Amino acid sequence: MQSDEIINIFKQDSALLEGHFILSSGLHTSGYLQCALVLQHPEKAAQLGSALASLVKKLAPTLILSPALGGLIIGHEVARACGRRAMFAERKNGVLTLRRGFTIEKDERILVVEDVVTTGGSTRETIAVAKGYGAHVVGAAAVINRGDTKNSFDVPFEFLASVAWPTYNPESCPLCEEGLPLVKPGSRDIAPTG
């Protein structure tokens, strides 16, 4: 799939949003891709998972690991397309960890899969979880790369499409200065300012 095809899927599902948003990193931006609106459709999730799997099969992962919640569906679809297991890490007391009886074998070949990568923080945390079990992280992948993260993981990073909206620290955000309402896209709630 070409990058413009991916973006068109988001447009078709009204998942490409414009306004004033707060990202999970705390940064502000004028554009947001709401992957959940696309991934709610099993056929589209499977299509994106298969396209991403075709980019990463060469890495020969034995396990797909994703951070919950955003990476869970696409990670599962990539695992299905690769014929591998899928697991997810989730936060406990603010720290990403494996729960629910999941375990990673020493020297297992892990691919970390996300929906959207901006700063790469969740991807790096998930990589650290895998390495904490003695696993070998063979790469990272995402549907969308919306940040300057192409070479920031110390492993190969593959993605289906890239978008470039600027991000701002809250204290120097021009969108805040304009008085635009701040939206927290995960819940569509107006986020606190300050």
Q: Given strand 167-168, what is the order of strands in its sheet?
A: 167-168, 28-33, 16-22, 183-184, 189-190
* pLDDT exceeds cutoff 70 at 149: no
Report domain extents, the chain. 3-190
Q: Choose the CATH number for 3-190 among 3.30.360.10, 3.40.50.620, 3.40.50.2300, 3.40.50.2020.
A: 3.40.50.2020
Condensed to tens digits (0 to 9), the pLDDT of residues 84-132 reads: 999 999 999 888 989 999 999 998 999 999 998 888 888 999 999 999 9
Contact (CB, 8 A) for 6 and 48: yes
Q: Are strands 157-162 and 16-22 parallel, antiparallel or unpaired?
A: unpaired
Per-residue pLDDT, averaged over 50-61, amounts to 96
Grade residue 186 by pLDDT with cuts at 50, 70 and 90.
low
pTM here is: 0.85
